[in-house]
Chain A
Amino acid sequence: NAGVTQTPKFQVLKTGQSMTLQCAQDMNHNSMYWYRQDPGMGLRLIYYSASEGTTDKGEVPNGYNVSRLNKREFSLRLESAAPSQTSVYFCASSLRWGSNTEAFFGQGTRLTVV
């Protein structure tokens, strides 16, 4: 089982460029999440999808959009990248919505915006 797969693993963007981070899970999970991790800040929730067909803002949604393409896939888009979006991005999934369920994480995408 691959679990949660993120692509790409590394990316360098110029300010103003756009890109989409891809995430797919093969565990038949209903809920999916995007986090960003910055030094000394822990993980902060950008967007989440509690179930297929729904998406909601998390703690730091500005500058991002998401698409829950189907049950397996949840993409994160940066329309106009800014240096402040330099970070490590993690996708996660859980069987269902609710904080008592374990979240499984991908290996991350390291994004640098210059």
Chain B
Amino acid sequence: AQSVTQLDSQVPVFEEAPVELRCNYSSSVSVYLFWYVQYPNQGLQLLLKYLSGSTLVKGINGFEAEFNKSQTSFHLRKPSVHISDTAEYFCAVSKLQGGSEKLVFGKGTKLTVNP
């Protein structure tokens, strides 16, 4: 079975500080990994994705994530956050179910950036 664990439900940080949002997945096969962001009262928007190739993936708004196969992790990072980064962030992994692949989401991490 494939699942996603986001280790922190809430992460408060100060503006211009670095941030890391942690995500671990369980899978016995190759996976595709994603980070989505949800701003208040909005739908989800893709930040970045790892399909293959370079393990360091760059996304929108200055975010990046590193795929670590040995640690089964896909942590999201940003060197300096802004107030506007306040949102909920979801890690997701592909899941093989019934012969089809589907996205399985983690429970989310609420990032609050304080002035």
Q: Using CB atoms and an 8 Å cutoff, list the residues of chain A in contact with chain B.
A: 4, 40-45, 48, 50, 56, 58, 90, 92, 97-100, 102-103, 105-108
Query: Which chain A residue lies CB-closest to B94?
Result: A99
Q: Among A40, A43, A45, A58, which residue has the most Cβ atoms of chain B within 10 A? A: A43
The 8 closest A-B pairs by CB, nearest first: A99-B94, A105-B43, A99-B101, A42-B105, A43-B105, A42-B107, A105-B44, A107-B43
- Contact between chains at A102 and B49 (CB < 8 Å): yes
- Contact between chains at A4 and B107 (CB < 8 Å): no
Expressed in whole angstroms, the Cα–Cα distance for A108 and B43 within the complex equals 6
- Contact between chains at A97 and B100 (CB < 8 Å): yes
Expressed in whole angstroms, the Cα–Cα distance for A41 and B104 within the complex equals 11
- Contact between chains at A99 and B103 (CB < 8 Å): yes
- Contact between chains at A100 and B94 (CB < 8 Å): yes
Question: Distance (Å) between the CB of B92 and the closest chain A CB?
Answer: 8
- Contact between chains at B44 and A43 (CB < 8 Å): yes
Contact with A along B30-71 (1 / 0, CB 8 A): 001000000001111110010100000000000000000000
Question: Distance (Å) between the CB of A105 and the closest chain B CB?
Answer: 3
Instruction: List residues of chain B with CB within 8 A of the CB of A50.
Output: 100
Expressed in whole angstroms, the Cα–Cα distance for A34 and B6 within the complex equals 22
Instruction: List residues of chain A with CB within 8 A of the CB of B102.
Output: 45, 48, 58, 99
Instruction: List residues of chain A with CB within 8 A of the CB of B106.
Output: 42
Q: List 9 A-B contacts (CB under 8 A).
A: A42-B107, A43-B44, A58-B102, A90-B43, A92-B43, A100-B49, A105-B43, A107-B41, A108-B41
Q: Is the C-beta of B25 less than 8 angstroms from some C-beta in chain A?
A: no
Question: Distance (Å) between the CB of A106 and the closest chain B CB?
Answer: 5
